[in-house]
């Protein structure tokens, strides 16, 4: 099972998936976007520049295509879960 939390960048409104695939190292978490694909994202950037997408949002409305892209590249066991990332944001 891979837990994923979705955020929106405040300036561009692009969606970024933050993945619970490895322990946080140096204030960085694993992430994935359509453009750029895999890469680290800082806790600081998530706090300052992003908005956490509520789990009640319908996937098709905001993050559905990114969710499907992640599944298509091998993340077949994705579980939408914001709780794990909240520990880093507080």
Domains observed in the chain: 2-89 (2.30.30.40)
d(CA 80, CA 17): 10
Confidence of residue 2 (pLDDT cuts 50, 70, 90): very high
Nearest Cα to 61, choosing from 27, 15, 17?
A: 15
Secondary structure of residue 47 in the 3-state scheme: helix
| Sole residue written with tokens 């994705």 | 78
- Could you tell me the pTM of the whole model? 0.90
Angle at 61 between CA 30 and CA 70, to 5 degrees: 30
| Alpha helices (H) along the chain | 43-49, 64-72, 83-89
* pLDDT at 5 (0 to 100): 95
In this predicted model, what pLDDT tens digit does every residue of 31-73 receive, in sequence order? 999 887 899 999 999 999 999 998 887 766 788 899 999 999 9
State the pairing for strand pair 15-19/37-42. unpaired
């Amino acid at each position: 099972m891979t837990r994923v939390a979705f955020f929106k960048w405040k300036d561009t409104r692009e969606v970024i998936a933050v993945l619970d695939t490895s322990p946080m190292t140096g204030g960085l978490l694993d992430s994935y976007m359509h453009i750029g694909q895999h890469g680290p994202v800082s806790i600081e950037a998530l706090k300052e520049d992003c908005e956490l997408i509520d789990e009640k949002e319908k996937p098709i409305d905001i993050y559905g295509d990114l969710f499907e892209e992640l599944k298509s590249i091998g993340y077949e066991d994705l579980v939408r879960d914001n709780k794990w990332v909240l520990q880093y944001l507080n």
